Amino acid sequence: MKAKFKSTSSIVFLFLCLFFLSNLLPSALYAQGTDNAIQYRQLPMDVYKDKVAGGWLGQAIAVLWGQWTEGKWQTSIVPFDLEDWYRAKTPPKEISDKAAAMDDRLKRREFMLQYYGDKKNWEIWVPDKMSDQDDLYIEFMFLHSILKNGLDVTATEIAEDWVKYLAPNRIWGANKASYLNFQKGIWPPMSGNPRYTPQGDAIDYQIEADLFGLISPGLPRISNAWGDKVGHIMNYGDGVYGGMAMSAMYAAAFFESDPRKLAEYSLKAIPSESGYAKMVQDMLDVSQKYPNWQDAWKVIKQKWGMKDGKPVPGLDVRINGAFVYMGLLYGGGDFWKSMNISMRCGVDSDCNPSSVAGILGTVMGMKKIPEKWAILRNLPIDNIAIKDIFPNPIKWDDILDATVEVGKWNILQNGGYLSEGVFFIPYQTPTSAPLEQTIWVEQSK
């Protein structure tokens, strides 16, 4: 790792010398009038650190806050706001006994939903730690593999670290399917290919791509390159594009604050012919047509949440992605309002607001996250899944410092440089990934 970093430093030093000798290096942002000139954007190191912290804590706050709603509202809107740290009360014995006596799983779910749908059965609490969430610790694994192997870490090396360090009982969805593929000798990118897994269009990479936007500020092509490498460990097609769209918005959030512009920006990073891109365009359209998000929800739920008259699987990346965009487009940039709308859309109602709050946390920076939610910054992160790497509860400072360091490597290796505490990052527009699609039949309009 040190050798790689030294090599990168030498390249950057040579790059600076050449520009200095050619009299091309200005003291501020610039755009030359020649075809081969490079335009830079400035990002002070302290601002970068603050936005990285905001991005990490944003996703952590929302997934912890929304975790009690997860899996309960699969086909309906959550009937109330969560204005504070709320959690569901343990059902009384007579309720749980009655539910247990029901043989029909759907009737049992509906019965319990009546209990959870009454807000008097919820209580305010104050967290004393960040719970062990796969939204986070899978990203911690990515970070560990990069720190160990450098920026040229391979997808197979990441997969091998999963086999070595991840607790098998703490992996779900497409991640679990790919993990089982590793046991059979099926390694990336085939581990996420539909030939070997039915989970290619699942939500997994969408909720784990945050890191690659955070280490690629203003560099959406680089975050896409990471998505191509890492996303195919567990996903394919729209499953990968969901993560690419999220990381593109994170990358842009270092320089752009308008949620609609971020949503529009993400479209440029994925193929317009893909189902995921069509869903994003639908979200952009309905958000202009319907002032009320609940009305937009009905349209989107019917088109993207139903297939052959039945709800799509709860881990489907398109319907869950739609509810990320719902929070962004209707939340007006407000941290709580945005994650609350996303949560109330249901389905994966903790992961979706996590993506929303992570993107907005990057826009705002840690310093501007409201105090009610920012208390999580000083709490330890519970660790069950990766004890061989972190024997004790994980400290936020360790995660944030490592992310900033890897982000610095990534910026320097991809044409940027650091001068007097300010990153100069080459201006980069998104480019679409190649089209690959699993079978998806749209509902007729």
- Whether 156 and 118 map to the same domain: the answer is no
Mark whether 265 and 233 lie in a shared domain: yes
The CATH number that applies at residue 193 is 1.10.4080.10
Residue 414 within any structural domain of the chain: yes
Residue 13 lies in a domain: no
| 351 shares its domain with 397 | yes
Helix axes 275-289 and 293-304, enclosed angle (nearest 10): 150
Are residue 214 and residue 294 in the same domain, yes or no?
A: yes
On whether both 69 and 149 belong to a single domain, the answer is yes
Q: What is the pLDDT of residue 324?
A: 98
* 101: exposed, middle or buried (Cβ count in 10 Å: 0-12, 13-18, 19+): exposed
Mean pLDDT by runs of 10 across the 445 residues of the chain is: 38 38 30 59 98 98 98 96 98 95 93 96 97 97 98 98 97 98 97 95 98 98 98 98 98 98 98 97 98 98 95 97 98 98 98 98 98 97 96 96 98 98 97 83 38
Residue pointed to by tokens 């590793």: 182
380 and 286 belong to one structural domain: yes
Q: Is residue 209 domain-resident?
A: yes
Domain that holds residue 63: 45-80+127-426
Residue 181 falls within a domain, yes or no? Answer: yes
Q: What is the pLDDT of residue 439?
A: 63
Asked whether residue 95 falls in the same domain as residue 72, the answer is no
Could you tell me whether strands 86-88 and 40-44 are parallel, antiparallel, or unpaired per DSSP bridges? unpaired
Phi, psi of 383 (to 5 degrees): -135, 110
| Token representation of residue 290 | 């319907």
Residue 361 lies in a domain: yes
- Report yes or no on 410 lying in a domain: yes
Residue 438 pLDDT: 76
Q: For strand 310-311 and strand 417-419, is the pairing parallel, antiparallel, or unpaired? A: unpaired
Residues 120 and 239 grouped into a single domain: no
Q: Do residues 306 and 375 both lie within one domain? A: yes
Residue 174: predicted pLDDT? 98
Full DSSP string of 90-108: PPPHHHHHHHHT---HHHH
Extended strands (E) in 45-111: 86-88
Closest to 78 (Cα-Cα) out of 329, 339, 259? 339
Residues 76 and 195 occupy one common structural domain: yes
